[in-house]
Amino acid sequence: MTRSRQFLSDNSAAVHPKVWEAMKAADEAQTPYDGDALSQALDERFSEAFGRECVALWVATGTAANCLALATMVQPHGGVVCHREAHIEMDEGGAPGFFLHGAKLLLAEGESARLTPDTIRAAIDPIRDDVHQVQPHAISITQASEYGCAYRPKEVAAIAELARERGLGLHMDGARFANAAAFLEGSAAGAAGPIDALSFGCVKNGGMNAEAVLFFDVGLADVARYRRKRAGHLQSKGRFLAAQLIAMLDGDLWLDNARQANAAAQEIAGNCGDRLIHPVEANELFVRCTATERETLRTQGFDFYDWGGDAARFVTAWDTREDDARALAEAVGGL
Amino acid sequence: MTRSRQFLSDNSAAVHPKVWEAMKAADEAQTPYDGDALSQALDERFSEAFGRECVALWVATGTAANCLALATMVQPHGGVVCHREAHIEMDEGGAPGFFLHGAKLLLAEGESARLTPDTIRAAIDPIRDDVHQVQPHAISITQASEYGCAYRPKEVAAIAELARERGLGLHMDGARFANAAAFLEGSAAGAAGPIDALSFGCVKNGGMNAEAVLFFDVGLADVARYRRKRAGHLQSKGRFLAAQLIAMLDGDLWLDNARQANAAAQEIAGNCGDRLIHPVEANELFVRCTATERETLRTQGFDFYDWGGDAARFVTAWDTREDDARALAEAVGGL
Amino acid sequence: MTRSRQFLSDNSAAVHPKVWEAMKAADEAQTPYDGDALSQALDERFSEAFGRECVALWVATGTAANCLALATMVQPHGGVVCHREAHIEMDEGGAPGFFLHGAKLLLAEGESARLTPDTIRAAIDPIRDDVHQVQPHAISITQASEYGCAYRPKEVAAIAELARERGLGLHMDGARFANAAAFLEGSAAGAAGPIDALSFGCVKNGGMNAEAVLFFDVGLADVARYRRKRAGHLQSKGRFLAAQLIAMLDGDLWLDNARQANAAAQEIAGNCGDRLIHPVEANELFVRCTATERETLRTQGFDFYDWGGDAARFVTAWDTREDDARALAEAVGGL
Amino acid sequence: MTRSRQFLSDNSAAVHPKVWEAMKAADEAQTPYDGDALSQALDERFSEAFGRECVALWVATGTAANCLALATMVQPHGGVVCHREAHIEMDEGGAPGFFLHGAKLLLAEGESARLTPDTIRAAIDPIRDDVHQVQPHAISITQASEYGCAYRPKEVAAIAELARERGLGLHMDGARFANAAAFLEGSAAGAAGPIDALSFGCVKNGGMNAEAVLFFDVGLADVARYRRKRAGHLQSKGRFLAAQLIAMLDGDLWLDNARQANAAAQEIAGNCGDRLIHPVEANELFVRCTATERETLRTQGFDFYDWGGDAARFVTAWDTREDDARALAEAVGGL
């Protein structure tokens, strides 16, 4: 029996040593909630990182980040255009319905869980402009997408242009934003594009329990502050969340961690050939393989999720061991 | 200029070393969410501590704990009886309205922010039993109360009896439950009494960002699980929250910490004489003093909140330095 | 046994013959919802009546009218300042919590259920300007008040001035607006004053099941349209609601009906002496009398509600028979 | 120019003379809300009509009826399985999201907008049984369906059996229940089957503004009563809604009216040949025809909606004139 080799998910990965250090350094009692020096520094630090003014709020989970961001853009009687397989639609336990007070998700199509202006129009153009049908108020895209694919800057720009034309807010779920940014050669601004709000992921990338919601449309942040408290997400020792985020920004740890995860994914991808269902542009691999083949891999000590009946999902993380990645690459190659 | 002596709030106190240790020990990747061994152990550990079967869920804040507990007992068209100065009414930014989908807080009176069967009846008996008025579905009491006073076991029992008669759920906000339990000589079960759900505070008592919601009416827990996810409170690295709670239970650290905070409060109280507005039964002191007197204390380096125009609130914590407590006692005595 | 003489409530009074006629005339099939000619005429008709541009939407009940109006002014995390005995607080079954998605009613004091700038300030000035406390977004006043008293034009103006200063919306619950307007010598504009929205009552004043929500801040109306549909209040044969409202405006039937009800109330008031608890300025009387006295009146065939332990409430309507009013006046005089 | 021949919608049809009579007869002042004799008689009258105990509540619209029924079966964190083209999904302006506090509609397939056990299972079986995905709490089917097709008794029974197995509530949207019942040879019980709640339509079938929500699972009705008030749907002169419903039941007017509408639809259907997209089993026809053909029909004075780019929807009603139906039949036959 080999020891377990984790490819289940990046969401339970270890916390990076620099994050631990930063948290320890934040221990001393301070102004509660977000009155501490670290929380107060977030706006400036993120504005710097993105080269664009923004307001940054910490929250504990990506679900809260996404829903708080959307709640500032979408009235209860409105809707959010998102991909049919978006995390907010599939995996947040109905949180958008809760935070948005019954607003509706308007589902659109798109390859590898990425929307395009055309698929968005296909979803919203048939909506009659009357009170009997829920009108779109915002668009939400995921960078990298739920299938590990990155929107290119001009793709985001085209969606932003459509959003502007239609008067819609534009939100980006960046649970794996770092992986997309690393893939796109490291520019935060480039990976984000002209969006109104970003859920900047940290937990999957070596954090413990802090994500940031960034408002580039800074007028939206005030509502988010009230809603964060109202949702029980204003922690009294917020300094520990701020510390995690700042540790990530310091020296671009967020990009370094993502590069490591991406590199491990690429190593595996190199041996997958046409088993790959989606291009590998972040740290997730969706790999065609039979139940027998999956059983073979599990016998070799690899942990991962089945993806439907004839595929496996492998996720790498900042702490994926190089030899585990190599071993998986070889194992898949040898199937 | 003296160094600052913190009596502002226990909610920004340092994290206890044993909590840090437990968190560090939980670092290794595990099943995400609450599938890890620590989270899975919570039911048993809390059932042991309370000598009564319960289901225990972690959440990040007391606001979330209170509201998730109440959401299992109160339908959107119902109401929660609570004290006019209860935290859920005064300081949670409308979170009960959010989590309970518009249910109403039905305000009752009571000395030192404690309800009694009589004040509860005074609040609900005038409610006409018809659809035009919001009917009570639950009662929420705070142990220790918002003024730092503890319900005695027979007081809780009397309220529980009334709740049972009227078919109401009974929730206890235990943000400072440990301080009450310590004051009541250390029995968890005794301080809780026959309630349906308890928000068991840990953050103010040396934790970082974990509270527990305990369901003694275990049938309620299942709904709370769904609602926790839906509220964005299901953290993927939940093991770090579970670790904090278990560290608190180990060797009764929660009681030790509370005893320290209470002792500091008693030391100060000893010098307050009839300046005390409420009995000191936990770790909060509400002390009559003029603006000039408060200025004097601040000049001596003490940090605290004004409480209205003619009083100060001092809060001690597990990490209040003995000499700070003694110094404050002397300073108040010398006013 | 005398026949019943109805002073229970105006809310179950008969429908005025002119309202019936107008409804009959509207029978022929037309564009559904509010696309019919009558519904389309409402904006103009109400703008004329109030001498000020407004948008007018029909709904079936005063509860819906109040809550739809407030929902355009108050975000889910905000609050509405209203009197402690306002209808929205006491008698709408928690509807504001539902329509406003958990927003809070912030209760204020005032004689005869009327607010003043001072009592409003007393309610909101203690609210800390932070996310922990629910901030006011609007004020709601009732014209005539729940105790049948009318705000004078300069009283409304003073409240409107405060609302403007604080950036709050101003709503008027006009379930008995007609009675107040009649009392104030018949000017719709005068009785309304510089408010943002008015629930214009019709049901209690000879209508069947139509009320109007008027938006003087016309930018609010669009949201109300969506919310009306979303609340199941967009009737497909809306022409029958519009017909009721237009019948009321035609030839000032609304004022005539209210004058009749007010006159009946004055007749009774004339014999009440210092039994009156509140000035009689509309069609409601709150009259001190013992249980025995109430029993005496009931034996004489009068129907009415007890008001607490030592008073009775009498309500007149457009169809109160003159001899019933005279009889009640005499009966009360003879107690 | 010929006079207009209405086939746009039954939802703006005239009110039946017997309904008018009943409403007039209900004019005299009575106990308000639903305390009047007519409202109080509804349970018995509907229990008789369906041969099965039920509780019957009036409301003004089908949207309110559907959503109030579902709100008794579905928790805010749950979901409702319905057809992708169900009225609650397509045409209620997001009302289910409002009344159900953010619960989700789980969309299923089925010919002519009818679900089957297989399509329901296809929708819900992939839902993982964990807190990350919204779990089904109820099923809603429409009788007759949105395409004018009737569920046969054994089809409803099979769905009810599945609902029972999975612990789901079963609701029937009966906006055109009368038309389905008439098609199924006139048994209310047969057309309804073993469901938990029915929205019994009256407005489209000759009523003015009353629908009934029937609870065969009578334990659900109490919650609906509170929610009706809370949604602003408890009219004070409820006697006029009850009168409409009772007029419909008297002498089976509801079936007579539906038979007339259905007969008109059949007359037209007889000339449509294979232009029909769906079987005609109620009072709606979906007829393939080109833009030119539709233009031809409109030139002849027929009013109707386009249905997508290559079809027309014709709806008959209780008051469709026989010669209009014949004329349309001939016109379609002559295309």
Segment A247-295, tens digit of pLDDT: 999 999 999 999 999 999 999 999 999 999 999 999 999 999 999 999 9
Q: Which residue has the tokens 């003296």?
A: B2
Of residues A95, A204, A317, nearest to B231 (C-beta) = A95
> Bridge partners of C288?
C311
pLDDT value at position C295?
A: 97
The answer to whether the Cβ–Cβ distance between A77 and D93 falls below 8 Å is: yes
Say if CB A141 and CB A168 are below 8 A apart. no
The chains in contact with chain B, meaning 3 or more Cβ pairs closer than 8 Å, are A, C, D
Segment A17-60, tens digit of pLDDT: 999 999 999 998 788 999 999 999 999 999 999 999 999 999 99
The first and second tokens of residue D259, run together, are 């038979």
The chains in contact with chain D, meaning 3 or more Cβ pairs closer than 8 Å, are A, B, C
The DSSP code for C205 is G
**Which is nearest to C141 in space by CA: C181, C197, C185?**
C197
Of residues D91, D96, D104, nearest to A94 (C-beta) = D104
pLDDT value at position A1?
A: 35
Q: Which residue has the tokens 């005695």?
A: B152
- Asked whether residue A2 carries a pLDDT value surpassing 50, the answer given is no
Of residues B77, B225, B228, nearest to D227 (C-beta) = B77
Segment C138-191, tens digit of pLDDT: 999 999 999 999 999 999 999 999 999 999 999 999 999 999 999 998 899 999
- Asked whether residue C1 carries a pLDDT value surpassing 60, the answer given is no
Q: Which residue has the tokens 């004055």?
A: C266
The answer to whether the Cβ–Cβ distance between A32 and B9 falls below 8 Å is: yes
Residues of chain A with Cβ-Cβ distance to D133 below 8 Å are: 90-91, 93
CA distance C180 to C190: 10
pLDDT value at position D236?
A: 97
CA distance B217 to B223: 12
Pairing mode of beta strands B135-142, B305-306: unpaired
pLDDT value at position C186?
A: 81
Average pLDDT (C2-27) is: 89
ipTM: 0.97
Say if CB D203 and CB D211 are below 8 A apart. yes
Say if CB D251 and CB D299 are below 8 A apart. no
The answer to whether the Cβ–Cβ distance between B59 and A12 falls below 8 Å is: no
* Structural domains of chain B, with CATH: 5-12+258-333 (3.90.1150.10), 17-252 (3.40.640.10)
Residues of chain D with Cβ-Cβ distance to C92 below 8 Å are: 229-230, 232
Segment C95-141, tens digit of pLDDT: 999 999 999 999 999 999 999 999 999 999 999 999 999 999 999 99
Percent of chain A whose predicted confidence (pLDDT) is above 70: 99
Q: Residues, chain C, total? A: 335
CA distance D77 to chain B (A): 7
> How many beta-carbon pairs under 8 angstroms link A with C?
34
What share of residues in chain D are helix, strand, coil (percent, to 5)?
Answer: 45, 15, 40
Of residues C94, C131, C132, nearest to B102 (C-beta) = C94
Q: Which residue has the tokens 């109306």?
A: C221
The first and second tokens of residue A194, run together, are 């002209």
CA distance A235 to A61: 12
Count of H-run helices and E-run strands, chain B: 14, 12
Segment B272-326, tens digit of pLDDT: 999 999 999 999 999 999 999 999 999 999 999 999 889 999 999 999 999 999 9
- Contact status of B95 with chain A (Cβ, < 8 Å): yes
pLDDT value at position A4?
A: 63
CA atoms within 13 A on the CB side of A23: 25
- Contact status of A125 with chain D (Cβ, < 8 Å): no
**Which is nearest to A143 in space by CA: A285, A281, A265?**
A281
Rg of chain B, C-alpha, whole Å: 20
**Which is nearest to B245 in space by CA: B194, B198, B283?**
B198
The answer to whether the Cβ–Cβ distance between D95 and C27 falls below 8 Å is: no
Q: Residues, chain D, total? A: 335
> How many beta-carbon pairs under 8 angstroms link A with B?
150
Q: What is the mean pLDDT of each run of 10 residues along chain D (335 residues)?
A: 74 95 92 95 98 98 98 98 98 98 98 98 97 98 98 98 98 98 94 98 98 97 98 98 98 98 98 97 98 96 94 96 96 95
Nearest CA in chain C to B89: C133
pLDDT value at position C4?
A: 64
Name which of A4-13, A87-96, C40-49, C264-273 the model is least confident about. Answer: A4-13
D172: part of which helix (H) or strand (E)? Answer: strand D169-174
Average pLDDT (B205-214) is: 98
pTM above 0.95, yes or no: yes
- Asked whether residue C235 carries a pLDDT value surpassing 50, the answer given is yes
pLDDT value at position D1?
A: 35
Of residues B131, B225, B227, nearest to D225 (C-beta) = B131
The answer to whether the Cβ–Cβ distance between A77 and C135 falls below 8 Å is: no
Give the SS3 label for residue D38: helix
Segment A203-226, tens digit of pLDDT: 999 999 999 999 999 999 999 999
The answer to whether the Cβ–Cβ distance between D77 and A93 falls below 8 Å is: yes
Say if CB B229 and CB D133 are below 8 A apart. no
Pairing mode of beta strands D78-83, D135-142: parallel
Say if CB C198 and CB C177 are below 8 A apart. yes
pLDDT value at position D186?
A: 82
Residues of chain C with Cβ-Cβ distance to A68 below 8 Å are: none
- Contact status of A76 with chain C (Cβ, < 8 Å): yes
A201: amino acid identity, one letter: G
Q: Which of residues 184-223 of B touch D (CB under 8 A)?
A: 223
Residues of chain D with Cβ-Cβ distance to A103 below 8 Å are: 94, 97
The DSSP code for B276 is B
**Which is nearest to B116 in space by CA: B74, B73, B80, B152?**
B152
The DSSP code for C276 is B
The answer to whether the Cβ–Cβ distance between C132 and B91 falls below 8 Å is: yes
CA distance A132 to chain C (A): 7
Q: Which residue has the tokens 């000598």?
A: B51
Of residues A209, A234, A236, nearest to B237 (C-beta) = A209
- Contact status of C230 with chain D (Cβ, < 8 Å): yes
The answer to whether the Cβ–Cβ distance between A94 and D100 falls below 8 Å is: no
- Contact status of D135 with chain B (Cβ, < 8 Å): yes
Say if CB B173 and CB B88 are below 8 A apart. yes
C121 vs B4: which has the higher pLDDT: C121
On average, the pLDDT of chain B sits at 96
**Which is nearest to C61 in space by CA: C93, C83, C27?**
C93
CA distance D335 to chain A (A): 28
The DSSP code for A276 is B
* Cβ neighbours, 10 Å, residue B321: 11
Q: How far apart are the first and last CA of chain B?
A: 19
CA distance B223 to B95: 18
Of residues A76, A132, A223, nearest to C229 (C-beta) = A132
